[in-house]
Amino acid sequence: MVGMVGFLRIPIEYNVLIGIGQLSAQFGGVNEMPHQPPRPRKPYPPRELQRLKTLAKRQPEVARVGFTTTEDGQWALMVWVREATDFPISRIEERRGDYQVVYTWEPDYPPIARPAYPEKGE
């Protein structure tokens, strides 16, 4: 998975690239495009997905874990994996059910807080 920031694991087993990064040497200066989640359809992630987050936090390959949404507003798990980790991570995939899991490499910088939806005043 060299040169890939992340992909979306869709239940029908298609992998979709959600970010571009670490490709500048190969493609002449491509900037990173982070995943920009839309508003969720439901206000809170389902309990099963919250349990999956707890399981993911316990995996040694995982640097951070949180929630995000897919393009259609469904809740998904966002997993930042450590460098040189093979993913998808089987222990997470075995228990994800119909939920989507977004994997991405652990960034070299700490998370930056910003408004979720600035155009809406949030």
pLDDT digits (tens, 9 = 90+) for 60-90: 999 999 999 998 999 999 999 998 888 899 9
Predicted confidence (pLDDT) at residue 113 exceeds the cutoff of 60: yes
Residues 27 and 57: their CA atoms lie apart, in Å, by 34
Whether domain 38-109 has CATH 3.30.300: the reply is yes
If one compares 76 and 122, the residue with the highest pLDDT of the two is 76
The pLDDT assigned to 34 comes to 58
Torsions phi, psi of 97, nearest 5? 60, -130
Distances (CA, A) of 87 to 39, 47, 103, 104: 27, 24, 8, 9
Which range, 3-7, 96-100, 117-121, is most confident?
A: 96-100
pLDDT category at 97 given cuts 50, 70, 90 is very high
Instruction: Report DSSP letters for 6-28, one per residue.
Output: EEEE-TTS-EEE--B-S-HHHHT
Residues 110 and 17: their CA atoms lie apart, in Å, by 22
Q: What's the burial of 34, exposed, middle or buried (CB within 10 Å: 0-12/13-18/19+)?
A: middle
Residues 22 and 116: their CA atoms lie apart, in Å, by 25
pLDDT tens per residue, range 17-54: 333 333 223 333 333 445 678 889 999 999 999 999 99
